[in-house]
């Protein structure tokens, strides 16, 4: 009988509200720094990529890097996709 290891991940949901986009963007950069350390990613590269354009770019780029771990939701609770 063989046992299969089950890999589980913590998923966090973040509510996106356009009225509070700047605060949320700052929070996402902080989360990215923490996640980069935990995942062994180049933090400076990721943060520079996140800050490269506007908040929409930041949200989409964050989702690309960390969407497996953190689910971004818009104010209608639908999944934020590229």
- The pLDDT assigned to 68 comes to 85
Q: Exposed, middle or buried: residue 58 (CB in 10 Å: 0-12, 13-18, 19+)?
A: buried
pLDDT at 79 over 50: no
Which tens digit of pLDDT belongs to each residue from 9-36?
556 666 666 677 788 889 899 999 999 9
Which tens digit of pLDDT belongs to each residue from 35-76?
999 999 999 999 999 999 998 899 899 989 998 888 777 665
CB 36 within 8 A of CB 70: no
Task: Based on DSSP, count helices (H) and strands (E) in the chain, helices before strands.
Answer: 3, 2
Cα–Cα nearest to 58, from 18, 31, 25: 25
């Amino acid at each position: 009988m063989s046992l299969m290891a089950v890999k589980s991940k913590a998923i966090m949901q973040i509510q996106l509200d356009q009225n509070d986009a700047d605060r949320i963007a700052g929070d996402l950069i902080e989360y990215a720094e923490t996640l980069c350390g935990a995942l062994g990613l180049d933090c400076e590269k990721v943060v520079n990529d996140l800050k490269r354009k506007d908040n929409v770019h930041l949200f989409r780029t964050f989702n690309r890097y960390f969407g497996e771990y953190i689910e971004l939701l818009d104010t209608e609770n639908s999944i934020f996709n590229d």
